[in-house]
Amino acid sequence: MTSDAQPTLPFETRLSVVLSLLQAQMGAKVSTNASVCEAHSHGEAYQIAHMPAAVVFAQSTADVAAVLKVCHANHVPVVAFGAGTSVEGHVTPLEGGISLDLSRMTDVLAVNAADLDCRVQAGITRQSLNALLRDTGLFFPVDPGGEATIGGMCATRASGTAAVHYGTMKENVLGLTAVMANGEVIQTGGRVRKSSTGYDLTSLLVGSEGTLGIITEVQLRLHGLPEQISAAVCQFETLDDAVNTAVEIIQMGIPITRVELLDAVQMQACIAFSNLTEFKPLTTLFFEFSGAPEAVREQISLTQSLATENNGLAFAWAETADERNRLWKARHNAFWAIKAQNPGKQLVSTDCIVPISQLTELINGVRQDIAASGLYASILGHVGDGNFHTIIATEDTPEGYQQALALDRKIVARALSLHGSCSGEHGVGVGKLEFLETEHGPEALSVMRALKATLDPRNILNPGKLLPSGPIYHG
């Protein structure tokens, strides 16, 4: 990387130079339209929007490299934008500059069915990819729920409902094409399943939230479609019984595909929003089992036994694909179900994660924190890996947001005290910055800042995200 040099011209002058150069090089791919800029001023987070000076719609790695070269030379910030589904402020251009939209980069570049891998551009969504893979008998399993792009999922190290079985983006990305801050293009990883050579740059970039480089292509691990899939729902009179069932499933090593928890508040909202009238507003576990028929039968038998021992009510089965899709659509629409129950209010969604042995204690404590706050909030999540979410409804005012933030801080503090993390999948963005030092310690953060300063010495890549300001480690 090139060494840093302080800019000598005012920001507005440098920005004007960048816009002139980009418009000359990229023409109609550059937009300064107010409505286009407003759409790129925020994601789905509560945090206040910031308008970019322009939006550039990249269609290739070369386009991304051209933008970064110009912006690096002129010290102008760049924030990558995919589908805009992030909830911690990742795509908000805090310092203005350029919003670099990769949503038009949707090509599937290669499918290697025999090796169970493929290469895609970063702007394709997981839904579109799986539709194109359908005839191959393969699929990509990481399912965060929203219409997220593969590049965005890499940037936030996404996981989702099937992570307990298939892993997160960390386990399912084999390699990347990335553009560094100065416009240099690098290749990381490859198509092999393991390697003992060099630094693991793929893992460094996955989860870096666009602060170290911009991912433009992704080599993905694919999986064969299961021979059989079965789904079921089991309801519980108490939250404890449901959580204990999920924990025991994992501790016994049952290879369940998904186990999702919705507490009574969330279930009541989902019943109304998704017309799940056959269920009661009780704490509920959603299960999915997959594999060879005999293996699925064994998984089901063991899971039913555990649920029964924990006072679970009878299993309700979703036998057909349509019935399964209906259940999982209801789970994925949980946010909108809470929104419908709270018209006119702002929703703040947070997540945290703990070792599964600590999950019951954490969720019970969070339920107490919610009751003490007086706010309407639901608990749901991927309890098979110790990760859960809280959706908090509050007045759409600065004061209301502060109330929600106070509850969020209590939830995260509980998780950290139980050897957990402030986020299992949402990432840091700006929403979780204040928890990073408590979780990682000042020494680790100084090393992270040194990496950032080395790879992005002019701090143009998504400035203000992921890393709180502080000292850089010099050795």
pLDDT band at 473 (very low <50, low <70, confident <90, very high): confident
User: Between 160 and 204, where is the model more confident?
Assistant: 204
pLDDT at position 7 is 87
pLDDT at position 182 is 98
Residue 419: both structure tokens together: 């050897």
Mean pLDDT throughout 223-234? 95
Query: What backbone torsions phi and psi does residue 426 show, to the nearest 5 degrees?
Result: -70, -30
- Selection from 284, 360, 357, 290 nearest residue 316 by Cα: 284
For the stretch 43-66, pLDDT in tens is 987 667 999 999 999 999 999 999
Q: Is pLDDT above 80 for 320?
A: yes
Q: Is pLDDT above 90 for 5?
A: no
Rounded to whole angstroms, the Cα distance separating 171 from 205 reads 13
pLDDT at position 3 is 52
Rounded to whole angstroms, the Cα distance separating 224 from 242 reads 31
Mean pLDDT throughout 431-444? 95
Mean pLDDT throughout 338-345? 96
Rounded to whole angstroms, the Cα distance separating 99 from 84 reads 11
Q: Which domains are seen in the chain, by residue range?
A: 11-101 (3.30.43.10), 108-224 (3.30.465.10), 228-324 (3.30.70.2190), 342-417 (3.30.70.2740)
pLDDT at position 475 is 67
- Selection from 110, 106, 126 nearest residue 191 by Cα: 110
Indicate left, alpha or beta for 31 from its phi (over 0: left) and psi (-120 to 50: alpha): beta
- Map residue 446 onto helix, strand or coil: helix
Q: Is pLDDT above 60 for 109?
A: yes
CB 463 within 8 A of CB 52: no
Distance of CA 105 to the CA centre of its chain: 19
Rounded to whole angstroms, the Cα distance separating 93 from 80 reads 9
Mean pLDDT throughout 163-192? 96
Q: Which helix (H) or strand (E) holds 240?
A: helix 239-251
Mean pLDDT throughout 350-378? 95
Pairing of strands 117-121, 138-139: unpaired
Compute the CA torsion angle 8, 9, 12, 13 (nearest 10 deg). Answer: -150
CB 212 within 8 A of CB 186: no
Mean pLDDT throughout 85-97? 94
Share of the chain above pLDDT 90, in %: 91
pLDDT band at 2 (very low <50, low <70, confident <90, very high): very low
pLDDT at position 145 is 80
Residue keyed to tokens 């994925």: 332
For the stretch 292-319, pLDDT in tens is 999 999 999 999 999 999 999 989 998 7
Residue 382: both structure tokens together: 């991927």
pLDDT at position 319 is 78
Tell me the residue length of the chain: 475
Contacts of 439 (CB under 8 A, 6+ apart): 416, 421, 422
pLDDT band at 219 (very low <50, low <70, confident <90, very high): very high
DSSP structure string for 353-376: E--GGGHHHHHHHHHHHHHHHT-E
**Which amino acid type is present at position 66?**
A
- Global model pTM greater than 0.85: yes
H/E/C letters for each residue in 328-340?
Answer: HHHHHCHHHHHHH
CB 216 within 8 A of CB 103: no
